[in-house]
Chain A
Amino acid sequence: MVVEAKNLNLVFETADGPVQALKDVNLSISKGELVSFIGPSGCGKTTFLRCIAALERPTSGQLTVNGMTPDEARKKRAYGYVFQAAGLYPWRTIAGNIRLPLEIMEFSKTEQAERVERVLELVELKGFGGKFPWQLSGGMQQRASIARALAFDADILLMDEPFGALDEIVRDRLNEELLKLWARTGKTIGFVTHSIPEAVYLSTKIVVMSPRPGRITDIIDSPLPKERPLEIRDSREFIEISHRVREGLRAGHADD
């Protein structure tokens, strides 16, 4: 198991009193899976991802990443994290941005250059290394931020609505590319989204979540094949899974 959560709870203390962000979350993610977390805002999907990344500390329960505590896993560079905004430094070139984690992790200069070239190719940005972020489109910037997360060879890729700010056409393309990248690298991917088609198209496992308190209402193992052309979204299976996800989301809301 790459990620294992048992009875995970997280309570935020806010000015308006405690907020239960995660309640009794149980989930296992095995190696090479692509798991989507879907739900309305406040359902804890991002919070759960941040717990895996050791950016939040659960109040109770057990969470292991690669068999270690999230903190230990972070220090062993177990994961790369991609945020909704590309968050590239405007004063660094694309190559300079991708090099940033490598500098911090003290890779040698030659290895830095090699890795930058390799991941640029992986996200199809070869030749753009010398450009500054503002010279690239939003989609290209987000690809660069994925390259940055891939540069240090973490086994896990955690993505928090990485394509949420992009238009649908660019989004489709990047979804297709993400699947290719995943097939080529065999990474385990955790993917937060609020788009049903995106979740169904990408995932081997879809985790449906609900707010107040943030919890898992359904876990769907996708029967779709690993090879997924965009047209698969018109197939019966795809529509059936989408339907089940929608039902799960609606059931969560019925409690309000």
Chain B
Amino acid sequence: MRRVGPIFAVLAALLALWYLAAIWMNATWVYDQAQRSGVEVTLAELIPAAMAQDRPLLPPPHQVAAKLWEGVTAQAITSKRSLIYHGFITFRGTMAGFALGILLGVGLAMAIVRFRVVDKSVMPWAIISQTIPIVAIAPMILVVANQLGIQGREVPKAIIASYLSFFPVLVSMVKGLRAPDQMQLDLLKTWGASEGETFRKLRLPASMPYFFASLKVAVAAALVGTIVGELPTGAVEGLGARMLLGSQYGEPLITWAALFASAILAGALILAVGLVERLAAVKMGVRA
């Protein structure tokens, strides 16, 4: 209880703030309606009116929750209106981008640690790549993929997601692979270990704590990248497309429900990575 207490306190404060903001923002519409029909609204009338609009400027929490619940349970999971369906599309894209990002990040880190020239030439570009807004690049990747005759959005989405997720893996792995000190490298040298053995038996296991720390950031980045990849016009599947649909058709509840679905997905992914990390830590003899 002592651990969850503060979490609930913050949550309650956020919800209260959210309700107040919803009343304040949705009041405009209530006052407009009242003025048009020539009646006065009291505060007691305003609050329920601000809580139950079809198209609120800022939907209050319970409306978002209801929409989310409806999207998850009220239709077959194959329906285009099911958040499970769209969530799965986004999950699949995230996993592809995450995997690609790990491969790219670890591969580049290995090359950077091994070859000085790669360190000098690639690292600055990796950093520059992260200064370019992903929303600017995403449509270009989609267009180029289409031009190359790649059907569907799976591949370009994975590329966009990996563009964001490779970076934390790269930075952490460079640090992790360089973690062993000179003494440990000398010791391996006295046994005549090859470079490959030094990598497999020392550098790689020594980098694992860094690797797992970066995975939590990378998986969240991959999710953001996937959603950005689902945003540009033409997308019909995925939580990103759902958010866009909601805003295009003036259905904020759809957008907000999709937003929360993606937040829940992100939370689940980070928990899953944390679980894998803990299993690996136990196997590697980390102090319980």
Contact = CB atoms under 8 A, between A and B. Distances in A.
Contacts of B189: 55, 74
A53 B187 CA distance: 10
A142 to B, nearest CB: 14
Interface in A81-100: 81, 83, 85, 87, 89-93, 100
Interface string B182-202: 011011111111000100011
A105 interface: yes
Given A83-B183, A104-B197, A104-B201, A92 B190 contact: no
Given A85-B183, A89-B205, A104 B192 contact: yes
Contact of A91 (B183, B184, B208): B208
Nearest to B208: A91
Nearest to B189: A55
Given A83-B183, A87-B183, A104-B197, A93 B285 contact: yes
A89 B183 contact: no
Given A90-B285, A132-B285, A104 B202 contact: no
B287 interface: yes
A74 B190 contact: yes
Contacts of A74: 189-190, 192
A80 B186 CA distance: 12
A57 B62 CA distance: 74
A184 interface: no
B188 A83 contact: no
B44 interface: no
Contacts of B192: 74-75, 77, 104-105
Given A83-B183, A132-B285, A89 B191 contact: no
Of B187, B191, B202, most buried by chain A (CB within 10 Å of CB) is B191
B284 interface: yes
A100 B183 contact: no
Contacts of B197: 104
Contacts of B201: 100, 103-104
Contacts of A138: none
B56 to A, nearest CB: 54
Nearest to A90: B285
A235 B176 CA distance: 52
A164 interface: no
A104 B195 CA distance: 11
A87 B183 CA distance: 8
B202 A89 contact: yes
B191 A105 contact: yes
A83 B193 contact: no
Tell me if A's interface is mostly helix, strand, loop or mixed. loop
A87 B184 contact: yes
A92 B188 CA distance: 15
Interface string A26-67: 000000000000000000000000000101000000000000
A198 to B, nearest CB: 21
A79 B72 CA distance: 67
B190 A53 contact: yes
A101 interface: yes
A104 B284 contact: no
A42 B202 CA distance: 30
A68 to B, nearest CB: 14
A74 B191 CA distance: 7
B287 A134 contact: yes
A30 B201 CA distance: 35
Nearest to A102: B191
Contacts of A79: 190
A91 B207 CA distance: 11
Given A85-B183, A103-B201, A104-B201, A91 B190 contact: no
Contacts of B187: 81, 83, 87
A85 B191 CA distance: 17
A79 B187 CA distance: 11
Given A103-B201, A104-B197, A91 B285 contact: yes
A166 B67 CA distance: 65
Interface in B182-230: 183-184, 186-193, 197, 201-202, 205-206, 208
Nearest to B205: A91
A80 B285 CA distance: 26
Interface string B70-109: 0000000000000000000000000000000000000000
A252 to B, nearest CB: 27
B166 to A, nearest CB: 25
Contacts of A100: 191, 201
Can you list the 10 inter-chain pairs with the closest CB atoms, starting with the nearest? A91-B284, A132-B285, A101-B191, A81-B190, A104-B193, A104-B191, A91-B205, A83-B183, A134-B287, A55-B186
Interface of B: 183-184, 186-193, 197, 201-202, 205-206, 208, 284-287
18 contacts: A53-B190, A55-B190, A74-B189, A80-B190, A81-B187, A81-B190, A83-B183, A87-B183, A87-B187, A90-B284, A91-B284, A91-B286, A93-B285, A101-B191, A104-B188, A104-B192, A132-B285, A132-B287
